[in-house]
Amino acid sequence: MRGTLLANRRGIQRFRQLATTAVKSSKIKLLLFCCIAFTLVVVATRASDFMGWTNHSDSLDQFLPPGKGYAIVMNTWKRYDLLKQSISHYASCSGLESIHIVWSEPNPPSDSLSTFLNHVIESKTRGLKKVELSFDINKEDSLNNRFKEIPGLKTDAVFSIDDDVVFPCSSVEFAFKVWQSAPNAIVGFVPRAHWVDKTLGKTDYYTYGGWWSVWWTGTYSMVLSKAAFFHKKYLRMYTNEMPKSIKEFVTKNRNCEDIAMSFLVANATGAPPIWVKGKIFEIGSTGISSLGGHGERRTRCVNRFAAEFGRMPLVPTTAKAIDSRNTWFW
């Protein structure tokens, strides 16, 4: 009898051990399954994002009334393959009404290039709308050219973009909607920062902060014009009201026209820009930002412009516009 009870007790303990092991194993398997499923979803999402900038299927289904869309002002310099690639992509974005290529090369654009770009635009729009293409020819090679006033511009919204960066049309259209809610602001994808450098014992000396500064602090005070919306009135203001000394500085140093535009808008509005979260695809390989000493030169620009304006007009902010329809984690 005693032996039987002992055997039963051991059997119960064995059963409990097996049950506990089974439960732990199930939990581990469930956790692994959840991890694998989450990973697959993320990979699938990233894969679609990566291909998203070449997918135009959602871009031509809705058109805005004439004058209610935006104009692209694209800066370029002897990178015809990138220019063709960028124009080919943006031509299918639904809100686009016109493309203005800022041309500062010594020779005018070739007939073959103009013919190719017009053909690409016509094929991408499938004849459903008219997108005007023009080359804004400049005699002087200056970065100020990208902000020259454009006579007869029909849209209030200007999307300033470099020829070596590409955003999906969905991101561009979202940024355009954000700009429509704040048409006096610069609205774009590339934030930068500044702060008072107290290490020198001064209260009016500033340091320029690149992307990693924005990432670390979550604060920015500029949105660069390499990918940004702003009102066309700022082209007129830059052309006619920007201090001549600043434009000469930009031309001489071949840098900082985007910082100058940030100063101009902030000085006029007293408000910060708006950073829009978007997927950026760098299709170029080189640029002035890749050169050594770039940060130091930009810091010099910030302090030079603050002195010219007689104050620091840039307004820091931590706000960021996110399209919640396409984002799991805000």
Give the per-residue pLDDT at 117.
96
191 touches 214 (CB < 8 A): yes
What is the secondary structure of 62-94 as a DSSP string?
--PPTTSSEEEEEE-SS-HHHHHHHHHHHTT-T
- Does 63 score more than 70 pLDDT? no
Closest to 274 (Cα-Cα) out of 190, 166, 194:
190
19-45 confidence digits (pLDDT tens): 455 445 555 555 666 556 555 544 444
Average pLDDT, the chain: 85
Q: Helices in the chain by DSSP H: which ranges?
A: 2-52, 80-90, 111-125, 169-181, 211-217, 233-241, 244-253, 257-269, 294-309
**pLDDT tens digits, 87-97:** 999 999 999 99
At 321, is the secondary structure helix, strand, or coil?
strand
Q: Is the pLDDT reported for residue 206 higher than 60?
A: yes
pTM > 0.85: yes or no: no
Give residue 46's pLDDT band: very low, low, confident or very high (50, 70, 90): very low
Please state, in angstroms and rounded to a whole number, the distance separating the CA atoms of residues 22 and 30. Answer: 12
Label residue 198 by pLDDT band (50, 70, 90). confident
At position 270, the amino acid (one-letter code) is G
The structure tokens listed for 37 are: 């499923």
pLDDT at residue 330 greater than cutoff 70: no
Lowest model confidence (mean pLDDT) among 40-44, 165-169, 221-225, 305-309:
40-44
**Spatial strand order in the sheet of 274-276:** 132-137, 96-103, 70-75, 157-162, 227-231, 187-188, 274-276, 320-321
Name the band, by pLDDT with cuts 50, 70 and 90, for residue 314: very high
Candidate list 58, 111, 258, 323, residue with the active-site label: 258
Residues contacting 49, CB < 8 A, separation 6+: 168, 279
The set of residues, in sequence order, having a beta carbon less than 8 Å from that of 17 and lying 6+ positions away, is none
Determine the pLDDT at residue 125: 87
pLDDT exceeds cutoff 70 at 266 = yes
Residue 163 known to be catalytic: no
The lowest-confidence range among 12-16, 32-36, 82-86, 146-150 is 12-16
pLDDT band at 318 (very low <50, low <70, confident <90, very high): very high
Could you read off the pLDDT of 142-175 as tens digits, one per residue? 999 999 999 999 999 999 999 999 999 999 999 9
| Nearest residue to 99 (alpha-carbon basis) of 79, 111, 84, 78 | 84
Q: Counting beta carbons within 10 angstroms of the beta carbon of residue 274, is it exposed (0 to 12), middle (13 to 18) or buried (19 or more)?
A: buried
* φ, ψ of residue 18 in degrees (nearest 5): -65, -40
pLDDT at 146: 97
End-to-end CA separation in angstroms for the chain = 67
d(Cα 255, Cα 48) in Å, to the nearest integer?
Answer: 35
* 115-119 contacts at long range (C-beta below 8 A, 24 or more positions apart): 116/84, 117/83, 117/84, 117/87
Q: According to CATH, what is the number of the domain 70-283+291-326?
A: 3.90.550.10
Domain ranges of the chain: 70-283+291-326
Query: Which residues 6+ apart lie within 8 Å of 32 measured at CB?
Result: none
For 165, phi then psi, to 5°, come to: -130, 140
Residue 220's contacts (CB-CB under 8 Å, 6 or more residues apart) are 191, 192, 193, 214, 272, 273, 275, 316, 317, 318
Residue 38, burial from CB neighbour count under 10 angstroms (0-12, 13-18, 19+) = exposed
What is the model's pLDDT at position 43? 44
Q: Which residue has the tokens 């500085």?
A: 249
Mean pLDDT of 260-288: 90
Buried b (16+ CB within 10 A) or exposed e, 121-157: beebbeeeeebebebbeeeeebbbbbbbebeebebbb
Q: What interhelical angle do 80-90 and 169-181 show, nearest 10? A: 70
Please indicate whether residue 256 or residue 35 has the higher confidence score (pLDDT): 256
For the chain, what percent of residues have pLDDT higher than 90? 67
pLDDT value of position 80: 94
